[in-house]
Each structure stands twice: as structure tokens, then as C-alpha cells.
Structure 1
């Protein structure tokens, strides 16, 4: 019974006040051993695979259909690999495989770990906003990133993308998130639904992510960085299917 609860048993909705996403391009062989057998890497030019860090300020997160006053405001940090999955109907789905999840509140850690497989931990989050410049950091999780919103943001140095249009395909959010139970070869598929999702490029002034450094990925480069603001979002109830 408790195990079944972790399979996203109901839809969830929230308002994204902001979502800042930094995506790192990595030679694909560096990530092949980090995803389950049912998934394949979502690659660019058959050379680059991608790890993204999403930092999301949510408002009124709650089971879908419940009134907003019953929701909670959480800060969420997710480290995800861009992947593809071919479902039982033969359709190829683009999505994410989560490798680490953090939040700023114990309540979200408890509820998130009760109803998902994302293995949330609680950390400290510090935010400083000065005009178009924002810094988000955590001492406990050893990360800090400073971005500037501007109309003339340029791609990070060394990005494999030729322009922002090309980079936009790997900006997220991808429609699906996948979890895999290797013991019974069962895939859990969670579909996200959003409105008016228009990511805006940002300039990354400085960044450091201890978790990314700890992966010891060779040849990783910052590929793009985007922000979205004030977006309604919800996740559908999880759908399970057998793989092979």
C-alpha cells in the first residue's frame, strides 16, 4: 500500500513564480551508465547529452482541484537528465530522468517522498534579487548561481548550440518524467501540463554546483540558461506500464 502511494496517485498543480534552468552539455558516453535500461539519452548531433539543474519557486502547490489556500509555497531544486522513452504503443516520448531532488522545507520532503520516487532532501536556500540580477545559493548543498535577465543575453562560452533557437529545444520542461522499477520492469510516466511557457534567455554571471562537480563528468560545458515566470503548471496522475 505504501509503495503504491509513491506512484503519483493523484494530479498536482502549482503556480511557478519563477523557474531558472541551467543545462549542461556532456559527451554522451559520460551519462549512459546513469540512466535505467528502459531509457535512452536525448542527444544533440548524436554527440551531446544533457544534465539540467532547475530551481523553481512554487506557489500554492496542492492536489489538483483543491482550493489555493490549501496549497503550500516551496522552493524546489531538481537535477535531471534529458531522455527518451518508447512506450507500449510505440510512441517516442521526450522527458526527464531525475537524479537528485531538494527542497527548502521538511513538509515538502515528507510529502514528496510519500507520493513520489524522487528522494527529496531538505536544504537551506538563500535568494537575493536586485533589479534584473538574482543570486540563489545553498551552503548545505554547496551551490551558488547568479544570473542577469537582459534582452541581449548570449549563449555561454563553449555551448554546442549555434543560437538560442537551437538551444531552446533543450531548455525544458520536457513533457514527461520517468521512473523505473528494475525489479518488475515497470515504468512510471508522469506528464506535465503548462500554459504560456516562454523561456527567456539569461546571462549566467557565475555558478557552482557541488553535486554536478561530484559527478566528475569529463568535458561538461554550460550549454544554455533560461528563466520563466508566473506560469500555471500541473502534473497528471502517474501512469504505469510494463517495459518489454
Structure 2
């Protein structure tokens, strides 16, 4: 008896098309508009050896050398509360409700290899996401589909109390737990940091670019150019669970800068692939 097996090419074709579609999603093909209610960004200095293996091909660590000659790499925790999130051009009334996003990233640089010829060869500074969390299952699914970094769910809120801004984030896995109080209007550099003053610390405010690894290079997603620069802010940190686990447990991580931005229109452009493999 001859057994005839069904052809496997339909499954292979479907898997290939699914993979291509997912890869396109992870290249962030849509520009997005939103309104930003609150944003806090914190930057920690860590020894470069702690994160030396994290930059993908085409990326390099963005470092700072202190007055004592010691070199530091930097991590960032950014927390955004967004409303009216929608594709660019869609009316705000059709956007989503309030969403809180937390992302841990490492500061990196890359060299522009596409775009106008006058811009090619320019060094871009940005953040390479390591892990993220969102409130609401829809935003969690969106993060899982459009990011190559792990993405989970959180419960979190900003709570204005007088002149202070309190933040309390709790994640499902505990790794994203973050608690602090910010003091808008105060530009106090964190005690024990490696940056001597607020002017120097501004270099490690969140850069406008987000870097995502891609099979063909690096995808660069850029914040809208009309988004204002965040202001340095004093913070009292109570907990940052991400630094208590894995490679960062016991590492010499020094909170060195913090920034705040509130009540502005926000958004980002569609991702742009900078090829580091193959041709242009």
C-alpha cells in the first residue's frame, strides 16, 4: 500500500509569509500620534562590562568618561502616560484611552546609512529597548508584535500630590516594579551619580531615537521633532526592581539623571531601516 503524504509547501509558504509580516510589524511601519500627560525618564550609570554584550550589530554603547577617568555606560527607565494614541492623521477622538508604558533601555549609537546623502555617516544617539511593560492587554499585544524586546503587563499610575508627582508601577513578573517621587521645578542632580551638574546630565536625557535590531540592520524610530525637550527633575527613588535581577543584581548602578515632561502633544515617525548587512 502506497501512502501519499499531503504536500508541505502550503505550510512552508504560510510560515514564510507570516514571518515576513511579523518582521514588517517589528519595523514600526506606522507613524503614531498621541497626547502625553506625564513622562519620567531616569538614567543610571553602569560599568560598560555589565552591558557590553547587549548592543546588536550596527550599534555601540554610548558612554561617558568621568572626571576621574572612569568610563560609564548608561541605562534608561522611561515611563509614559499617553492618551488618544492613534495612527498619524487619525482624529484624536478615535484614539485609545489612557495607557502607561514602561521601557528599560541601554544608551547606544549607530551611524546613519540611509536617508538624505548629506545625513549619511552622521552618528545617531538613541535607546535600545531591553524590556517593556504596558497597561491594558491591547497595548501589551501591540508591544509583543512590534518589538523584539520582551513585553509584559503592568498596573501603574502617576499621582500628582501638591507640587510633587508620585509614580507607582507594579508589573506581573515583578521585574518592572518602579516607585519614586519627582519634584518638578527642582533640578537637583541625584546624589551619588557620575554626572557633576544638570547641564552635563542633559546629555543623558532620552534621545529622540529608538533602535530595534533587524535581520538586515537596525530600525530607527524617531520622536516627532515638535516634542519639547524634557526638563531635569529631582527624584526620590524608592525601588527599581529591574536592577535587582539578572545581570544587574549587585552591579554598580548609579542613578545619575532624571527628567520630566508633562501635557504635550507627542508621537513618533514610522521606523526607518538602516542596513548593516547586504547592500543599501
With the length of structure 1 as denominator, give the TM-score of the two structures.
0.90
Structure-2 separation of matches of 1:6 and 1:150: 35
User: Residue in 1 aligned with 2:124?
Assistant: 93
1:189-204 paired onto structure 2 within 5 Å: 189-195=220-226, 197-204=228-235
Structure-2 separation of matches of 1:132 and 1:62: 31
User: Residue in 2 aligned with 1:17?
Assistant: 37
Q: CA deviation at 1:78?
A: 0.7
Q: CA deviation at 1:216?
A: 2.3
Q: CA deviation at 1:243?
A: 0.5
- 1:63 corresponds to 2:96: no
CA contact 1:195–1:231 (8 Å) conserved in 2: no
Structure-2 separation of matches of 1:120 and 1:154: 32
User: Residue in 1 aligned with 2:194?
Assistant: 160
Q: What secondary structure does 1:218 align onto?
A: coil
User: Residue in 2 aligned with 1:83?
Assistant: 108
Q: CA deviation at 1:150?
A: 4.6
Give CA-to-partner distance per residue, 1:122-141, whole Å, 9 cap, x none: 11214433112232223433
Question: Residues 200 and 102 (structure 1 numbering): CA distance in 2 closer, same or farther, change over 3 Å?
Answer: same
Structure-2 separation of matches of 1:240 and 1:27: 30
Q: CA deviation at 1:65?
A: 0.4
- 1:48 corresponds to 2:72: yes
Structure-2 separation of matches of 1:150 and 1:137: 17
CA contact 1:194–1:234 (8 Å) conserved in 2: no
Structure-1 separation of matches of 2:241 and 2:271: 31
2:213 to 180, 203, 207: 180
CA contact 1:190–1:237 (8 Å) conserved in 2: yes
For structure 1, the residue ranges without an aligned partner over 5 or more in a row are none
1:133-152 paired onto structure 2 within 5 Å: 133-140=164-171, 141=174, 143-152=177-186
User: Residue in 2 aligned with 1:209?
Assistant: 240
For structure 2, the residue ranges without an aligned partner over 5 or more in a row are 1-20, 114-119
1:74 to 99, 104, 113: 99
Give CA-to-partner distance per residue, 1:63-82, whole Å, 9 cap, x none: 00001011112100011111
Structure-2 separation of matches of 1:154 and 1:242: 40
- Higher strand proportion (structure 1 or 2): 1
User: Residue in 1 aligned with 2:152?
Assistant: 121
Structure-2 separation of matches of 1:34 and 1:164: 28
Q: CA deviation at 1:175?
A: 2.0
Question: Residues 195 and 241 (structure 1 numbering): CA distance in 2 closer, same or farther, change over 3 Å?
Answer: closer
Give CA-to-partner distance per residue, 1:153-172, whole Å, 9 cap, x none: 42111111121011011011
Question: Residues 209 and 57 (structure 1 numbering): CA distance in 2 closer, same or farther, change over 3 Å?
Answer: same
